[in-house]
């Protein structure tokens, strides 16, 4: 799941973490006019849930910061699923370019 990490913060509560600026696609994100911060990655997570994994909707909450993406909740399986999907995207420049371009064409606004 690299570069994301899933940790148990307290018994039964989990956080999915990504240090912003630590992925292989940071240059592509900047090239597309965005800052690869935690808020941008929240938008990516929302798009993944909306378009690829609607069964995760309502099972994950977000609390990003400038330097870190954070998703959390009690559903470890949902966070693992999201983490695997985001991990694959964090190393695939072509897919990132396609996802951001398609989202913007559809009117999605990233909050970065």
Residue 112 included in any domain: no
Residue 39 included in any domain: yes
Number of domains in the chain: 1
For position 88, what pLDDT does the model report?
96
Residue 9 included in any domain: yes
Q: What is the mean pLDDT of each run of 10 residues along the chain (112 residues)?
A: 96 97 96 96 97 96 96 98 97 97 95 88
The pair phi, psi for residue 111, each rounded to 5°, is -100, 65
Is the C-alpha dihedral spanning 15, 102, 29, 37 positive or negative?
negative
Single out the residue of 28, 26, 24, 48 nearest to residue 16, CA to CA: 48
Residue 60 included in any domain: yes
Residue 30 included in any domain: yes
Residue 110 included in any domain: no
Give the CATH number, domain containing residue 61. 3.30.1370
The boundaries of the domain holding residue 17 are 5-105
Residue 111 included in any domain: no
For position 112, what pLDDT does the model report?
87
Residue 84 included in any domain: yes
- Three-state SS letters, 23-58: CCCHHHHHHCCCCCCHHHHHHHHHHHHHHCCHHHCC
């Amino acid at each position: 799941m690299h570069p994301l990490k899933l940790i148990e913060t307290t018994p039964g509560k989990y956080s999915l973490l990504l240090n912003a600026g630590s992925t292989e696609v940071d240059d592509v994100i900047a090239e597309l006019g965005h800052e690869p911060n935690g808020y941008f990655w929240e938008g990516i997570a929302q798009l993944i849930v909306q378009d690829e994994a609607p069964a995760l909707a309502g099972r994950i909450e977000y609390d990003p910061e400038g330097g870190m993406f954070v998703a959390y909740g009690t559903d470890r399986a949902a966070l693992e699923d999201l983490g695997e999907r985001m991990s694959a995207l964090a190393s695939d420049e072509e897919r990132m370019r396609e996802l951001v371009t398609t989202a913007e064409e559809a009117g999605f606004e990233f909050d970065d």
